């Protein structure tokens, strides 16, 4: 069967015999051929579909020789779609009219009666031109995006507070190096965004960025996920599988929530990082890997080392440089900036005409302690945009607050639940002489939960 390479073609001509003859010829070579006798239907046709090539008669019944109607409809088509590929057709064409048609925006010009081979060749050339238009448009958009990225190197990480400026400065210093980075911060602070910013500004930016959520990998699947396996290595190993380390070769490997690894998994990870070589499960020969390692955790990993829950040598290996991301409650000055950004995003997404957050709404946001950080603020704004019927957001549009979670002004200064939690945890640890397991039990928490709170409060 002959390949139909001419795409979708629309032909407009007031001569039914010409339309039928063209359709018989073109349907052998095109995916679809739409014919139309009445040029007044052109706006409807363009509003409801798109075409690879449009064949347009120059002369209709009102004026059969001048081509004025053809030029009128050519301009209508190009006004609707400036990238449309239009081939004009006439029985009375001459060089002057052909030149004018090309100047008006036509792609080519064909005389009736046409030669079949010439018409097919002209359409084929026009299809290639359409593809080149699309590619040029894609490249222009990519160039614009690249320029925006260059001009706004941290555009996805929103913040102008001094704390965030220090984070940005640190990223600039370490990104071009090969140093292993450990990112510390609470849930929702944007650890993955920081990791991607480091990768995008590194010498490996043209290579792959592989993200692995270590908290979601079970111990039984750890080796297979990270290092891969060979066919037949275990019951379900029906084919060879490449692990995340090999996927990230020559690029950046981001190990998120690394504090969740058991000591057994830590030992296996340490061996790979030390030898720069991975052994797929069931393989007898190792494969060298060249990766830039960025890790992250919301847990108090230094306290875990002291407790024996995290290997000290692995910590040394992964944290040549540490980047601590401040929680949102410690950069209140960024709340309006971040909330306004999400307001614009979700007002556009949900087609709402919402202009701003009023002063009382902002005060409510700033009084909240944000345990979920930027991610929680994002969800709070999205929910407010969905629910409001007004043209701005006020305090009654935000429903995230629970009893006792607002900041309280007392004689001794500002006090909130975080400060109370910090004091209780410190007291429990002191009572049990630093024994995390006993302190966690006394507080009604798991060891992992207590470690997260230790990291949260930098204890």
CA distance 284 to 102: 67
Q: Using the 3D structure, point to which of 297, 326, 355 is the last residue of a domain.
A: 326
CA distance 275 to 180: 15
Query: What pLDDT sits at residue 277?
Result: 92
Q: Which of the residues in the chain have pLDDT under 70?
A: 1-4, 61-67, 92-95, 98, 141-155, 400-418
Structure letter (DSSP) for residue 410: E
Residues 172 and 316 in one domain: yes
How would you class 314 by CB atoms within 10 Å of its CB: exposed for 0-12, middle for 13-18, buried for 19 or more?
buried
Q: Using the 3D structure, point to which of 103, 137, 171 is the last residue of a domain.
A: 137
Within-domain flag for 281: yes
Residues 368 and 436 in one domain: no
CATH number of domain containing 434:
1.10.10.60
Residues 241 and 387 in one domain: no
Within-domain flag for 149: no
Residues 86 and 32 in one domain: yes
Residues 193 and 316 in one domain: yes
CATH number of domain containing 125:
3.40.50.2300
Are 225 and 266 in contact, with CB atoms under 8 Å apart? no
Residues 172 and 39 in one domain: no
Within-domain flag for 154: no
Residues 133 and 53 in one domain: yes
Q: How many CB atoms lie within 10 A of CB 420?
A: 12
Residues 218 and 237 in one domain: yes
Residues 250 and 124 in one domain: no
The DSSP element (H or E) to which 357 belongs, if any, is strand 356-357
Query: What pLDDT sits at residue 407?
Result: 42
Are 161 and 333 in contact, with CB atoms under 8 Å apart? yes
Within-domain flag for 341: yes
Number of helices (H) and strands (E), helices first, in the chain? Answer: 18, 18
Residues 242 and 366 in one domain: no
Residues 245 and 195 in one domain: yes
CATH number of domain containing 261:
3.40.50.300
Within-domain flag for 336: yes
Query: What pLDDT sits at residue 66?
Result: 60
Within-domain flag for 308: yes
Count of the separate structural domains present in the chain: 4
Within-domain flag for 148: no
Are 456 and 327 in contact, with CB atoms under 8 Å apart? yes
Query: What pLDDT sits at residue 64?
Result: 53
Query: What pLDDT sits at residue 149?
Result: 52
Q: Is the pTM of this model over 0.75?
A: no
CA distance 323 to 191: 9
Query: What pLDDT sits at residue 220?
Result: 83
Residues 259 and 178 in one domain: yes
CATH number of domain containing 371:
1.10.8.60
pLDDT tens profile 187-215 = 999 999 999 999 999 999 999 999 999 98
Domain that holds residue 363: 329-406
The DSSP element (H or E) to which 150 belongs, if any, is helix 116-151
Within-domain flag for 142: no
């Amino acid at each position: 069967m002959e390949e139909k390479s001419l795409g979708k073609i629309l032909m407009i001509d007031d001569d039914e015999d010409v339309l039928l003859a063209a359709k018989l010829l073109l349907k052998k070579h095109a995916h679809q051929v739409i014919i139309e006798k009445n040029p007044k239907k052109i706006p409807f046709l363009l509003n409801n579909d798109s075409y690879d090539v449009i064949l347009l008669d120059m002369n209709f019944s009102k004026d059969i020789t001048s081509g004025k109607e053809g030029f009128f409809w050519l301009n209508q088509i190009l006004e609707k779609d400036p990238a449309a590929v239009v081939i004009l057709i006439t029985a009375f064409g001459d060089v002057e009219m052909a030149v004018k048609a090309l100047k008006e925006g036509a792609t080519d010009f064909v005389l009736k009666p046409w030669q079949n081979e010439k018409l097919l060749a002209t359409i084929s050339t026009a299809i290639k031109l359409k593809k080149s238009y699309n590619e040029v448009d894609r490249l222009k958009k990519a160039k614009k995006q690249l320029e925006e990225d260059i001009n706004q190197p941290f555009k996805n990480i929103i913040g102008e507070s001094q704390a965030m400026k220090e984070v940005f400065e640190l990223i600039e210093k370490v990104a071009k190096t090969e140093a292993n980075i450990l990112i510390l911060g609470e849930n929702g602070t944007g650890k993955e965004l920081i990791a991607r910013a480091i990768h995008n500004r590194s010498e490996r930016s043209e290579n792959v960025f592989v993200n692995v959520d270590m908290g979601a990998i079970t111990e039984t699947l750890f080796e297979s996920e990270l290092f891969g396996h060979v066919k037949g290595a275990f019951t379900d190993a029906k084919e060879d599988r490449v692990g995340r380390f090999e996927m990230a070769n020559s690029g950046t490997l981001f190990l998120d929530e690394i504090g969740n690894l058991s000591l057994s998994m830590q030992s296996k990870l340490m061996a790979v990082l030390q030898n720069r070589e991975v052994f797929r499960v069931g393989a007898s020969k190792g494969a060298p890997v060249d990766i830039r390692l960025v890790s992250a955790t919301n847990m108090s990993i230094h306290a875990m080392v002291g407790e024996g829950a995290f290997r000290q040598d692995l910590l040394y290996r992964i944290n040549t440089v540490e980047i601590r991301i401040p929680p949102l409650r410690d950069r209140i000055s960024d709340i309006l900036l971040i909330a306004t950004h999400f307001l614009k995003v979700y007002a556009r997404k949900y087609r709402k005409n919402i202009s701003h957050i009023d002063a009382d709404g902002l005060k409510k946001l700033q009084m909240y302690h944000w345990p979920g950080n930027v991610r929680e603020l994002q969800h709070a704004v999205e929910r407010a945009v969905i629910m409001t019927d007004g043209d701005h957001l006020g305090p009654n549009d935000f429903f995230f607050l629970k009893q006792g979670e607002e900041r309280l002004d007392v004689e001794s200064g500002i006090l909130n639940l975080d400060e109370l939690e910090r004091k209780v945890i410190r007291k429990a640890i002191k009572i049990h002489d630093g024994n995390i397991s006993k302190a966690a039990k006394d507080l009604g928490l798991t060891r992992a939960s207590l470690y997260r709170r230790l990291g949260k409060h930098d204890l």
